[in-house]
Structure 1
Amino acid sequence: MSDHDIRRDGTGDAVVVGGGLAGATAALRLADAGVRVTLLEGRPRLGGLAFSFQRGGLTVDNGQHVYLRCCTAYRWFLDRIGGTDLAPVQDRLDVPVVDPARPEGRRLGRLRRAALPVPLHLAASLATYPHLSLAERASVGRAALALRALDPADPALDGVDFASWLARHGQSPRTVAALWDLVGVATLNARAADASLGLAAMVFKTGLLSEPGAADIGWARVPLGQLHDTLVRERLAAAGVRTETGTRVKDVTRAGGGRWRVGTETETLDADTVVLATAQRETHALLPEGALDAPDRLLDIGTAPILNIHVVYDRPVLRQPFFAAVGSPVQWVFDRTEASGLTDGGQYLALSQSAVEHEIDAPVAELRARYLPELARLLPLSRDAEVRDFFVTRERTATFAPTPGVGRLRPGPRTRAPGLYLAGAWTATGWPATMEGAVRSGLTAAGAALTELGRPHEHPLKETA
């Protein structure tokens, strides 16, 4: 049998490098199609940048992660690992938005949808949104209609920043801050001035202007580690995947005969297929010569940080699962009490702070002095509460930076080297750096590998096939 036949009959081995959502997805899909898979992860756990750790008696997520009903790939992933019931989606979009600078009685607004077709599903909410003037609300409607007409896949949009487009469509700085950035910062990890119009258009068209329920929010009611590590390990094992954590890959080289050799600190594995599901810089370091036309472009894909602030109070101070804030350095606040295992009558809140390059390295004492008074402004019940714990988690390279022009830098799943594929939220998924984008990249990379292997397969998501 020739080397080409070995690859085409689909019976060869595959090595997936990286155990985040992209790598786990690729490994599961390859294994489901009958390929023998080894998954290698350098960290002692799976889950990539969506994980949990222990702090005293608390199980803490490194950061708050949410998804939307339109995130069909991540919803497939949850179903595949048996986690759908552990990360439910709200029945209908409802986001409390607080502006502490406004008079009492006008501080709380809500972004919620009605049971009406697009774009009427948000019309009533926008019409009563107190954080914008009547004229600003009307301008949002006009801009939304213009945004709906854009094609996010148009390469011309990639080089334009979202803020400039919003300004040309009559959006005031207040409108950008109180509405567009409220959503955009959380989903893109960038403010409008630093975000590609193509990616912004994709987010708003898909989430808010496609189907009435597309933006309904889902999040884990259990620690992320239970989903992305424990359950994933179980499903990988059941699928026959050999999973090795704490295993750093040193190199990926040709093994001869069209096969690949993956070297670790303890062993060498030969395979017909290799999927590199690692961050862009790590992928660049592992790429064999000639695998990409311009490999250094990977190094031009910037990164953006996310800061997470964790506060444990001695009593409940928030009566809702989450809220967003405008007119405050606080962005989004989530109640993580039950998920963390806190049962002593206190309440644990997690603040998710995106696009915070200026704060990512700030000392904890400085962050405490800045954010506790802000929480007191936003949550009156916290003013008399005792702060039992205050700590910070920092992801300095949490996402790729969605800057104008980034689209031309993001490679697809195929390389010039047969049998070698790329996955990761930073690859050309059409999505920003989200859990959805990571899963989509894993599905696409595995699908490309199965096609080359000659293994019959059906893509689980028709729209990403």
Structure 2
Amino acid sequence: MTHVHIIGGGLAGLSAAVDVIGRARVSVYEAGPACGGRARSYFDKALGARIDNGNHLLLSANKSTFRYLGLIGAEKTLTGPGAPIFPWFDLKANLGWTLSLSKGRVPFWAFSRRRRVPGMKLSELAMLGRILRAGPDQTVSEFLGDGMLTRRLLEPFAVSALNTPLESASATLLAAIIRETLVLGGSACRPWYPSEGLSESFVDPAVAHLRRLQGEVHCGTRISGLDVQGGRVTGLKNGSDTIAVGPEDKVVFAAPSPVARSLLEAHLPGFSAPDAYESIINVHYRLSAPVKARGMLAKVGFVGLVGGVAEWIYLKNDILSVTVSAANRYTTWDNDELIATIWSEIRQAVGPVLVESLPQAVPPVRLVCEKRATFAATPAQDRLRPQARTRLENLALAGDWTQTGFPSTIEGAIRSGTEAIKVLGL
């Protein structure tokens, strides 16, 4: 039986393993103590709670993600309102509203003052069509106007999707997201997120599934080099040991982009991969009791913010968890300043709709900064992304940094794992 060696236990590597486990022997080699990469959960001793290292909002359009969850039996671990509704709050205007998209492709929502973005004009929708026709060197900011649809929806949507300042972000990567979500209507835009944690939804069930089917998952196993002979990978270096790769065996390289650059350049002439990155900051505030909300926030469980530092607030039992995308712009801020500023935004945006008042003083908190959360989604970096197929006959690449046509997202990572298995002919 073919043995598939998968280097990297993030979602790309796990996706590849889950896809092929019924047709081949599978071994996953993860350098860290646990699988999941940048989409995992862990117990924070200082906070005294289990938290995610990041917050991820999925949409019903993410078909590869839902297929993956179905294969590992975890599709019921997500929660969401079951409808394409998104609460928002404009901090500068002190105004809250709910965007309620139409189910089909025709944007009937835009004609209803109760469902659309406050202050938007119908003519602003033409921006979406222009973005869909963007050229490969154009940036998002070239297409945005100065109206409320831009400020209160397209800008925060684009920053979250691309994790890159819009002055330098690729318009074609944004177009790829819009084409599979807003263009398809509300049925493709129903929001979902893990009801418990990222590991409980995406990682732990996958590892359990692989092991049930006799797959091997080796954590704490760092692949430090490749042996290459005759146009194929023949061995994987693990310290002073070598893992043999047989004549019929395949290799999926699903480690992060910096690791790929260090290990693959010597074996793949002309190899390139993204080398500029954007960070994401997540701040977790732990309260003394579970958070209870009223109205739309109680139904949805999250709210998007406009006009401040924080972008998304999630209600997770006794934790209020906040995401800040494209966070390189805050590198000069002191952590205490960021934490205090975001807490004031939380109190303004969600405080009035909670059953219990939020304390004025900052509660116990943990700030997590993923410095290399994603590659910078610029036209120049997008051109550096390699295809899954390589010049080595038994080696394929996977990862959200490969050329998936998507920015760096869970959906892109999972698609890349499936594509790697496909190009290997398995």
Alignment TM-score, normalising by the size of structure 2: 0.90
Q: Deviations over 1:19-73 (max 9, x none)?
A: 001001112222222x222110000101110111112441111111121111001
Aligned to 2:126: 142
3-state secondary structure, aligned to 2:307: coil
Equivalent positions of 1:121-160 (< 5 A) are 121-124=108-111, 129=116, 131-132=118-119, 136-148=120-132, 150=133, 157-160=135-138
3-state secondary structure, aligned to 1:157: coil
Equivalent positions of 1:1-400 (< 5 A) are 11-33=1-23, 35-56=24-45, 57-102=48-93, 107-115=95-103, 117-124=104-111, 129=116, 131-132=118-119, 136-148=120-132, 150=133, 157-166=135-144, 171-172=145-146, 175-254=149-228, 258-265=232-239, 267-271=241-245, 272-287=249-264, 289-291=266-268, 293-295=269-271, 297-298=272-273, 300-314=274-288, 316=291, 318-319=293-294, 320=297, 321-337=301-317, 347-360=318-331, 362-381=333-352, 382-384=357-359, 387-400=362-375
Q: Is the CA contact 1:77–1:439 (under 8 Å) kept in the aligned structure 2? A: yes
3-state secondary structure, aligned to 2:35: coil
Distance 1:368-1:211 versus aligned 2 partners, 3 A rule: closer
1:391 and 1:330 map into 2 onto residues whose CA distance is 15
Q: Identify unmatched segments of 5+ residues in structure 1.
A: 1-10, 151-155, 338-346, 456-465
3-state secondary structure, aligned to 1:425: coil
RMSD over aligned Cα atoms: 2.2
3-state secondary structure, aligned to 2:209: helix
Q: Is the CA contact 2:100–2:115 (under 8 Å) kept in the aligned structure 1? A: no
> By how many angstroms is 1:274 displaced?
1.1
1:396 and 1:361 map into 2 onto residues whose CA distance is 14
Q: Percent identity?
A: 26
Aligned AA (2:348): R
Aligned AA (2:97): G
Q: Is the CA contact 1:312–1:387 (under 8 Å) kept in the aligned structure 2? A: no
Q: Is the CA contact 2:127–2:143 (under 8 Å) kept in the aligned structure 1? A: no
Aligned AA (1:58): A
Distance 1:279-1:258 versus aligned 2 partners, 3 A rule: closer
Aligned to 1:341: none
2:67 and 2:332 map into 1 onto residues whose CA distance is 36
Aligned AA (1:25): S
Distance 1:118-1:126 versus aligned 2 partners, 3 A rule: farther
Q: Is the CA contact 1:199–1:432 (under 8 Å) kept in the aligned structure 2? A: yes
Alignment TM-score, normalising by the size of structure 1: 0.83
Q: Identify unmatched segments of 5+ residues in structure 2.
A: none
> By how many angstroms is 1:386 displaced?
5.7
1:257 and 1:25 map into 2 onto residues whose CA distance is 26
Q: Is the CA contact 1:364–1:391 (under 8 Å) kept in the aligned structure 2? A: no
Q: Is the CA contact 1:305–1:360 (under 8 Å) kept in the aligned structure 2? A: no
Distance 1:207-1:257 versus aligned 2 partners, 3 A rule: closer
Aligned AA (2:197): P
1:385 and 1:444 map into 2 onto residues whose CA distance is 50
Q: Deviations over 1:348-368 (max 9, x none)?
A: 100010011122464332222
Q: Which of the residues 396, 407, 423 maps onto 1:432? A: 407
1:221 and 1:377 map into 2 onto residues whose CA distance is 25
2:50 and 2:111 map into 1 onto residues whose CA distance is 39
Aligned AA (1:27): A
3-state secondary structure, aligned to 1:158: coil
Aligned to 2:417: 442
Aligned to 1:420: 395
Aligned AA (2:288): D
Aligned AA (2:329): H
Q: Is the CA contact 1:314–1:386 (under 8 Å) kept in the aligned structure 2? A: no
Q: Deviations over 1:56-114 (max 9, x none)?
A: 441111111121111001111111111100014531111111113326xxx11111123
1:374 and 1:98 map into 2 onto residues whose CA distance is 10
Aligned AA (1:314): S
Aligned AA (1:46): C
Q: Is the CA contact 1:69–1:89 (under 8 Å) kept in the aligned structure 2? A: no
Aligned residues: 411
> By how many angstroms is 1:194 displaced?
2.0
Q: Is the CA contact 2:11–2:203 (under 8 Å) kept in the aligned structure 1? A: no
Larger helix fraction of residues: 1
